């Protein structure tokens, strides 16, 4: 592989310096202006032949139009022309233009000794043998328009087939049919502008940027295909895909600070096989925005930095899909801070893997009507590394559906929190999805939380706490072992705890506040103190431990089963007991009636209905089964019986 001569060697080793304007102009549709010529230089005894546009002066130009095809290899020199250099010396405003349907500029020398590139000399970003480049100048231009084409192919083993930009240059590819094709690389050092617009196309194995470059792919029909390559950059770069353009590549990676990546507009499409990575060594990670109906499919999103990357997915029909190849990271790991993922205004994020909060002070916000975040196969893990302080907010109208949710996942991850004013579903196809809290606080504030299993434990010795100031909690099972009672309601607003079968275990008890409701069916293990309402609506609830009722128990469409004690200091509304069998044998009258287990029943009688008072028949009886039986040997000719529950 040849090595590149330095600038002094190249200038001193010129063997040929002749104007080739006449040669080029003899080809219809190819014009030159300014200082345009070929020269040759030696490198390790081997000649390089090159076409130079702008030598020690500015405003030189090469134009290929009118359907003409200009192949550098056709220039008559001892060997095929190896490369095209734009701007040699302290020059500016030199240009190459390819315009019109069928017009084409070709750098297609496949010889092992030839470079086949457009070369902007002066770049310190690369050391490959490359094409359009400006030595010491800047402000040069390449334009491909009107259906024209620029093709750079070469021996990729020797680093050929590339386009390289130095500083303050611009490349514009515009109009349907216009295209740039290269088979090695597209490079930009600093402050360059690359625009592909109005249905134009560009393809090759990747774009690599230095700092402060601006890249715009815009308009319906515009296609950028980097194949198995990617788009990468250092710091302060801007990449925009908008208005229906499409981008396909293997990876997008920014390793510096303060980069900006924007996908904008309906029918804007992006497919990134491996993932989108913001991974600065230090400093601001930058910003990823997907909005106005754009759709991005990626093998992952990795947001890092201090502060870390902000990712905003916004507006109806906007969709970010993370494939099964990777995860969505809100903070890549300690010391990443302040990573942000906002899903808002009807946008959607769908994951086939996990969402991981690996840093500290991260924020996931799903807000606005029809905004959704889905990871139904896997789930969200908050505090998987770093000291914690992460926040999840599900706002009004927002919906999160996950196959698992763990907050305070690691022992050193503290002070993580979640607020739900929208809807949270933690469920999977097997009904075993876990909503788990350790050293974290989750609050239902007018929202809905549905989970297959609830676990509130201890993390680093501190409790995972779930409270419902208002809204609804709905679980198939629950295990609360954090040393605190589970409190439903704040005493003012309405909160609901709905049991969907299973066992709901509260090691330190369950407290139902005023204006709040416990309902559903299943088993409650742990003491219960009720200031609100226990409602049996269609099925039974079994209470394994003591129940103290200061509120209301309504059992008109289901039965409570009190396996321990019931201290009823409120009201207990049940279906009235019904006599089932009546039998008299040898003067002994025996009858039974329907009961609610744990309820105290008192049998009373009168000998005449005009009597004022009922007389107790023995003492009250606490039901131990669904029916009770009593016997009486009346001495009167008649008796009337009734049964009261209290």
Q: List the domain range (segments joined by +) for residue 590.
A: 579-645
The total domain count for the chain is 2
Does some domain include residue 62?
yes
Helix (H, G, I), strand (E, B) or coil at 9: helix
User: What mean pLDDT do residues 353-362 have?
Assistant: 80
pLDDT of residue 45: 52
CA quadruple 128, 129, 132, 137: dihedral sign? positive
Q: Which two tokens stand for residue 224?
A: 């950028």
Judging by beta carbons within 10 Å of its beta carbon (0-12, 13-18, 19+), is residue 87 exposed, middle or buried?
buried
pLDDT of residue 335: 62
Return the ∠ at Cα 631 (arms to 626 and 560), rounded to 5°.
Answer: 15
**What is the C-alpha end-to-end distance of the chain, expressed in Å?**
98
Judging by beta carbons within 10 Å of its beta carbon (0-12, 13-18, 19+), is residue 570 exposed, middle or buried?
middle
Helix (H, G, I), strand (E, B) or coil at 336: coil
Q: Which residue has the tokens 């196809």?
A: 429
- Helices vs. strands in the chain: H and E counts, helices first: 2, 66
pLDDT of residue 325: 81
pLDDT of residue 132: 46
Distance of CA 232 to the CA centre of its chain: 21
The C-alpha atoms of residue 416 and residue 241 are separated, in whole angstroms, by 35
The C-alpha atoms of residue 388 and residue 70 are separated, in whole angstroms, by 61
Does some domain include residue 492?
no
Does some domain include residue 54?
yes
* pLDDT exceeds cutoff 50 at 104: yes
* pLDDT exceeds cutoff 80 at 137: no
Q: Which of 184, 204, 224 is the last residue of a domain?
A: 204
Provide the β-strand partners of residue 441.
417, 465
Higher pLDDT, 119 or 377: 377
pLDDT tens-digit readout, 479-533: 999 999 999 999 999 999 999 999 999 999 999 999 999 999 999 999 999 999 9
Does some domain include residue 287?
no
Does some domain include residue 352?
no
CATH of the domain at 637: 2.60.40
Does some domain include residue 445?
no
Peptide bond between residue 307 and the one before it cis (omega within 30 degrees of 0): yes
pLDDT of residue 530: 97
Q: Which of 204, 238, 255 is the last residue of a domain?
A: 204
pLDDT tens-digit readout, 548-595: 999 999 887 788 889 999 999 998 887 777 788 888 888 888 888 888
DSSP one-letter string for 109-169: ---TT---EEEETT-SS--S--SEE-SS-B--EEEEETT-EEEE---GGGT-SEEEEEES-
Contact criterion met (CB below 8 Å) for 470 and 494: yes
Q: Which of 173, 204, 235 is the last residue of a domain?
A: 204
The C-alpha atoms of residue 101 and residue 170 are separated, in whole angstroms, by 22
Model confidence at 154, pLDDT cuts 50, 70, 90, reads low
What is the residue-averaged pLDDT of the chain?
A: 83
pLDDT tens-digit readout, 138-150: 788 899 999 999 9
Instruction: Please report, rounded to a whole number, the percentage of residues in the chain having pLDDT higher than 90.
Output: 48
Does some domain include residue 161?
yes
Does some domain include residue 146?
yes
pLDDT of residue 349: 95
């Amino acid at each position: 592989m040849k090595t590149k001569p330095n600038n002094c060697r190249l200038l001193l080793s010129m063997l040929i310096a002749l104007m080739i304007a006449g040669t080029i102009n003899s080809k219809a549709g190819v014009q030159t202006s300014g200082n345009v010529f070929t020269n040759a230089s030696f490198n390790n005894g081997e000649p390089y032949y090159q076409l130079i546009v702008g030598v020690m002066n500015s405003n030189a130009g090469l134009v290929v139009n009118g359907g003409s095809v200009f192949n550098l290899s056709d220039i008559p020199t001892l060997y095929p022309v190896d490369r095209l250099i734009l701007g040699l010396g302290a020059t500016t405003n030199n240009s190459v233009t390819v315009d019109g349907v069928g017009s084409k500029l070709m750098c297609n020398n496949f010889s092992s000794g030839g470079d086949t590139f457009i070369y902007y000399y002066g770049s310190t970003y690369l050391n490959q043998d490359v094409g359009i480049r400006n030595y010491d100048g800047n402000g040069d231009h390449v334009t491909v328009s009107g259906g024209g084409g620029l093709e750079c192919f070469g021996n990729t083993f020797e680093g050929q087939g590339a386009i390289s930009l130095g500083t303050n240059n611009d490349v514009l590819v515009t109009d349907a049919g216009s295209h740039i094709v290269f088979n090695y690389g597209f490079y930009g050092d600093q402050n360059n502008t690359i625009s592909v617009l109005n249905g134009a196309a560009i393809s090759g194995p990747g774009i690599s940027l230095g700092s402060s470059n601006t890249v715009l792919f815009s308009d319906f029909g515009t296609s950028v295909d980097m194949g198995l390559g990617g788009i990468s950059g250092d710091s302060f770069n801007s990449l925009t895909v908008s208005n229906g353009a499409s981008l396909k590549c293997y990876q997008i990676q920014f390793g510096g600070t303060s980069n900006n990546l924007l996908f904008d507009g309906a029918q804007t499409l992006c497919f990134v096989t491996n993932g989108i990575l913001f991974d600065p060594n230090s400093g601001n990670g930058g910003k990823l925005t997907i909005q106005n109906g754009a759709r991005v499919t990626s093998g992952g999103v990795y947001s890092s930095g201090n502060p870390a990357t902000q990712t905003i997915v916004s507006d109806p029909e906007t969709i970010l899909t993370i494939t099964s190849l990777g995860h969505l990271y809100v903070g890549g790991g300690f010391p990443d801070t302040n990573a942000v993922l906002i899903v808002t205004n009807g946008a959607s994020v769908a994951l086939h893997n996990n969402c991981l909060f690996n840093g500290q002070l991260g924020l996931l916000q799903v807000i606005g009507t029809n905004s959704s975040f889905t990871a139904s196969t896997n789930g969200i893990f908050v505090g998987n590394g770093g000291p914690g302080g992460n926040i999840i907010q599900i706002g009004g109208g927002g919906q999160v559906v996950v196959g698992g949710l763990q907050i305070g996942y690691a022992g050193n991850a503290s002070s993580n929190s979640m607020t739900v004013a929208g809807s949270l579903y933690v469920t999977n196809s097997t009904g075993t999805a876990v909503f788990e809290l350790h050293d974290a606080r989750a609050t239902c504030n007018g929202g809905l939380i549905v989970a297959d299993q609830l676990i509130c434990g201890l993390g680093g010795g501190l409790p995972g706490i779930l409270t419902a100031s208002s809204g609804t909690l709905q679980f198939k099972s629950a295990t609360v072992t954090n040393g605190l009672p589970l409190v439903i309601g704040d005493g003012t607003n309405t909160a609901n705890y709905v049991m969907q079968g299973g066992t709901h275990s509260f090691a330190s008890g369950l407290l139902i506040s005023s204006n709040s409701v416990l309902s559903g069916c299943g088993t409650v293990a742990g003491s219960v103190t009720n200031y609100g309402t226990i409602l049996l609506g269609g099925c039974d609830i079994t209470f394994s431990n003591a129940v103290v009722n200061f509120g209301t128990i309504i059992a008109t469409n289901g039965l409570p089963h009190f396996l321990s004690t019931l201290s009823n200091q409120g009201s207990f509304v049940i279906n009235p007991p019904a006599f089932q069998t009546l039998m008299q044998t040898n003067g002994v009258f025996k009858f039974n009636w329907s009961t609610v287990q744990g309820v105290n029943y008192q049998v009373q009688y009168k000998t005449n209905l005009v009597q004022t008072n009922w007389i107790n028949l023995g003492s009250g009886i606490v039901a131990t089964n669904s029916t009770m039986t009593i016997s009486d040997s009346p001495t009167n000719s008649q008796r009337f019986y009734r049964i009261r529950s209290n």
